[in-house]
């Protein structure tokens, strides 16, 4: 279970966006829906993940944020010794909705459609 405790404790302070960004960027590609969001590559990489907070709103029970995620992927070839295709990284982007429960800090992350 993902919990954004530091972001929740920073809610209402000027450093909230920075703390949320740090928490998102600490997640692995397995915890973020990066593989499902691929448009160019065939395999999401677990490096150089960058987040950008787009929108925030609050309800009685939770804090919701829309964020853009920038990451890298590769187009995997057959990996044969004579495969002429170089393994190049390509840039990928997706948007996600993050919801943090105000009591438990339990966090859900949902991939938004293009």
Please state, in angstroms and rounded to a whole number, the distance separating the CA atoms of residues 107 and 5: 9
The answer to whether 26 touches 52, Cβ cutoff 8 Å, is no
Averages of pLDDT over each 10 residues, the chain, 114 residues: 96 95 93 95 92 96 98 78 72 97 97 92
3-state SS assignment for residue 21: helix
Name which of 34, 2, 11 is nearest 104 in CA terms.
2
Using an 8 Å Cβ cutoff, are 113 and 9 in contact? no
pTM for the whole structure? 0.88
Neighbours of 10 (CB within 10 A): 18
């Amino acid at each position: 279970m993902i919990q954004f405790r530091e972001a929740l404790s920073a809610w209402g302070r000027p450093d909230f966006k920075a703390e949320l960004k740090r928490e998102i960027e600490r997640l692995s590609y397995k915890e973020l829906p990066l593989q499902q969001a691929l448009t160019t590559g065939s395999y999401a990489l677990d490096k150089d993940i960058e987040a950008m907070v787009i929108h925030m709103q609050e309800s009685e029970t939770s804090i919701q944020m829309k964020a853009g995620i920038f990451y890298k992927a590769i187009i995997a070839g057959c990996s044969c010794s004579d495969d002429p295709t170089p393994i190049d990284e390509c840039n990928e982007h997706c948007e996600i909705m993050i919801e943090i429960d105000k009591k438990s800090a339990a966090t859900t992350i949902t991939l938004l459609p293009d």
